[in-house]
Amino acid sequence: MFKGLESIVVELNALNFEFQILALSSLIILSIGLLRVSTKFGVPSLLIFLTIGMLAGSDGILKIWFNDADLTRKVGSIALAFILFSGGLETDWVKVKPILWKGISLGTVGVFLTCVFVALFAIFVMGFDPIIGFLLGAIVSSTDAAAVFNVLRTSNIGMRKGLTSLLELESGSNDPLAVLLTTSVLGFVGSSSPSWDTLAWTIFQQFSLGIILGLLLGYWIYRGMNRIKLDYEGLYPVLLSASVLFVYAATDLIGGNPFLAVYIAGIIIGNRSFVHKRSNVRFMDGIAWLMQIVMFLTLGLLVFPSKIPSVAVLGIAFSVFLIMIARPAAVFLALTGFNVDWREKLLVSWVGLRGAAPIILATFPFAKQLPESEMIFHIVFFTVLTSLLLQGSTIPFAVRILGLEAALEQRASYPFEFENKDKSDTQLLEYIVPYGSASVGKFVYELDFPENSLITLIYRGDSHLVPTGKTKMEDGDVLLVLTPEGAEDKIREILSRMGERKEA
């Protein structure tokens, strides 16, 4: 009899697990299917993922019960690590270098000022206790990498003067300080309050170790990818994925900031040539999308929509102050002294999207068992919804109204991949012919490229062209150039020259 009952329980448990897998896979498929709808109507796809999670949750249609804040924090942290790494892989250092200090200022000074401004508003206007006020300020102080990367790369609009690179650099590098501020404020809860000198040292340690380990481990992974000779090409993405987890965990255990480390490691690896680079970058892009979907679905499941109306008034006041006052003030002050005009500052202020990172940080107070934990979580969630809906859906309009629109750079897709098996200094690199370049209208043989450099393919519109010496350059052409190391800057300089064009 007992054996019969035991077998029934096992079957029910198995059925429950299978139902969970079926529900999760269905939600992911539905999320992907609605991507085209979100793009068509200008709704940020991350908002779609959140909404699906909410509808499937305990207050939604499917009534899936989920209230594990600690599991959500862990899932979100790993997902954010992969998203940051993928963003780093696709970050062009040549474009980042001119705006590096601007991005660092936004990621540090901007985050700190946002935290202070929001905290003061929460304390003196909304009437919160100082600890809760500064906790709310710390949680929403950073822009979200997942949201910014996603919206900028699906909005189908280009920005001039390196604004896209600046926004991506800021969002990829400002989470560490927000995490430190949040954990530091929580450290003041209870009897074990850290001293200010301890706090300053912790911030220095987290940033310095995060940067150093990101550089060292990123270079180590790059060298390892090229040195190891695997019999199966499919193992390289597995190796790269495991390396992301290794960088994250090792940096965290040593005392550095893991998010900063994985982002820097991604930049180091992405700006060098390694085995099967193009296929690995595509694989990591797919992983980043999967992580975004899973993360936002999980965050949506954790929310109880029925409790949001109770914080709606507070949430609206909080969101309006953050979006309209705190963020712009922090951006204008953080960019003081840099060559950035007021229109660019306004756009950077408006693209200060809040997303997964603040919601994940909002789960931290649950670990401290703060009585206000649930209220904090739902205020932050309301703020994220407001940010994605109001800011995320109007970014293309803001770019146009501020006159900062530029031609959208194409992301080329090639029918082949170059693998440097003999380990020579030859590499296959991608270049874009800028709009307004003096190279437009010139024949290939007139470009004066360095010796031994060969344009193997031109991606123009939706077609691939195999060039000859008589092929003319056009605005926005994406060139795939086989060239020896050391010639990259020369080619980039030739293509970026502006001036009189040769008439067709």
Give tens-digit pLDDT for 217-228: 999 999 898 888
* CA distances from residue 198 to 107, 184, 203, 234 in whole angstroms, order as listed: 21, 10, 9, 46
Look at the alpha carbons of 181, 182, 183, 184 in this order and tell me if their dihedral is positive or negative.
positive
Where residue 8 falls among pLDDT bands split at 50, 70, 90? very low
Residues whose CB is less than 8 angstroms from the CB of residue 61 and which lie 6 or more positions away in sequence, other chains included: 55
Average pLDDT over residues 117-143: 92
Answer whether residue 423 shows pLDDT above 60.
Answer: no
Q: Is the pLDDT of residue 181 over 50?
A: yes
Q: What pLDDT score was predicted for residue 109?
A: 92
Hey, what amino acid is at 213? L
**Residue 31's pLDDT is what?**
82
Does the structure show a pLDDT above 50 at 9? no
**Percentage of the chain modeled with pLDDT above 90:** 19
Q: What is the pLDDT of residue 12?
A: 40
What is the C-alpha to C-alpha distance for residues 404 and 410, in angstroms, rounded to an integer?
18
Q: Is the pLDDT of residue 457 over 50?
A: yes
pLDDT at residue 340 greater than cutoff 80? yes
- Does position 106 have pLDDT exceeding 60, yes or no? yes
Question: Using an 8 Å Cβ cutoff, are 172 and 262 in contact?
Answer: no
pLDDT, tens digit, 9 for 90 and up, residues 372-420: 888 898 899 889 888 888 888 788 888 889 888 876 655 555 555 555 5
Q: Which two tokens stand for residue 263?
A: 């982002």
Give the per-residue pLDDT at 400.
86
pLDDT value at residue 166: 86
Residue that wins the pLDDT comparison between 392 and 106: 106
Q: What is the pLDDT of residue 156?
A: 64
Decide if pLDDT at 43 tops 80: no
Q: What pLDDT is stored for residue 504 in this prediction?
A: 46
- Mean pLDDT value across residues 157-172: 78
Residue 10 has pLDDT above 50, yes or no: no
Report the pLDDT value the prediction gives residue 42, as an integer from 0 to 100. 62
Which range has the top average pLDDT, 185-194, 407-416, 495-504? 185-194
Task: Quickly state the pLDDT bin for 6 (edges 50, 70, 90).
Answer: very low
Token reading at 87: 């963003």
Q: What is the pLDDT of residue 214?
A: 93
CA distances from 240 to 209, 225, 273, 442 (A): 21, 8, 14, 41
